[in-house]
């Protein structure tokens, strides 16, 4: 299997620059070889998240799934920064996917697949993670999805 950095190229994905800490919290904290990332929302476009509003209302399932994928790309830019390069990621350990959900929208697990499928596609077995998918009322800046990842890095 290709290295994650090669897979990214094959998939045509360019990681954005890792965000710099600008507040009282930071993009990640490393403890031993575990790295805890901050929750990531979709990339900003014109000053707001690329996907806003609730799944099942403003956003269709397939759009929310794409939002989850974009959150994950943002998270990987932080993860690569934390690991000293994406190829130094040992394992994606745990993912929590928060989906802003309209009442009666119960496809949070399908939205979360936008994250999970990408991770498996890039990292193979090392990308398969424990996961929780939940439907929440609202997310920061009206984001449709927020992805929260914990991972292990090579020592």
CA distances from 93 to 36, 46, 79, 154 (A): 10, 33, 12, 13
24 CB-side CA count, 13 A: 0
As a whole number of angstroms, the distance between CA 107 and CA 128 comes to: 20
- The answer to the question of residue 38 lying near a copy of itself (CB under 8 A) is yes
Span 48-87, contacts to a copy of itself by CB under 8 A: none
Find all residues with CB under 8 Å of 119, minimum gap 6, and list them. Answer: 72, 92, 95, 127, 128, 129
| Binder of a copy of itself out of 59, 113, 144, 153 (CB under 8 A) | 113
CA distances from 79 to 4, 16, 74 (A): 12, 12, 9
Total residues interacting with a copy of itself, rule: CB under 8 A: 57
- The answer to the question of residue 104 lying near a copy of itself (CB under 8 A) is yes
Nearer to a copy of itself, 60 or 128 (CB): 128
- The answer to the question of residue 3 lying near a copy of itself (CB under 8 A) is no
Nearer to a copy of itself, 86 or 119 (CB): 119
As a whole number of angstroms, the distance between CA 64 and CA 143 comes to: 10
Span 114-143, contacts to a copy of itself by CB under 8 A: 116-117, 119-120, 127-143
Could you tell me which stretch among 1-9, 10-18, 27-35, 61-69 binds a copy of itself (CB under 8 A)? Answer: 27-35
- Report the DSSP beta bridge partners of residue 150: 36, 94
Task: List residues near a copy of itself by CB under 8 A.
Answer: 21, 23-29, 31, 34, 36-39, 91-96, 98, 100-101, 103-109, 112-113, 116-117, 119-120, 127-143, 146, 148, 150, 152
């Amino acid at each position: 299997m290709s290295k994650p950095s090669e897979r990214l190229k094959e998939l045509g994905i360019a990681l954005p620059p890792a965000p710099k800490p600008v507040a009282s919290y930071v993009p990640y904290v490393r403890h031993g070889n575990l790295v805890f990332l901050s929750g990531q929302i979709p990339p900003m476009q014109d000053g707001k998240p690329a996907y806003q509003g609730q799944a099942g209302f403003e956003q269709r399932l397939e759009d929310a799934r794409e939002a989850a994928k974009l959150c994950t790309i943002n998270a990987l830019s932080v993860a690569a920064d934390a690991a000293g390069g994406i190829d130094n990621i040992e394992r994606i350990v745990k993912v929590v996917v928060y989906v802003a959900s309209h009442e009666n929208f119960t496809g949070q697990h399908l939205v979360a697949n936008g994250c999970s499928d990408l991770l498996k596609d890039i990292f193979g077995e090392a990308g398969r993670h424990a996961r929780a998918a939940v439907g929440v009322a609202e997310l920061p800046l009206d984001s449709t999805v927020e992805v929260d990842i914990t991972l292990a890095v090579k020592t």
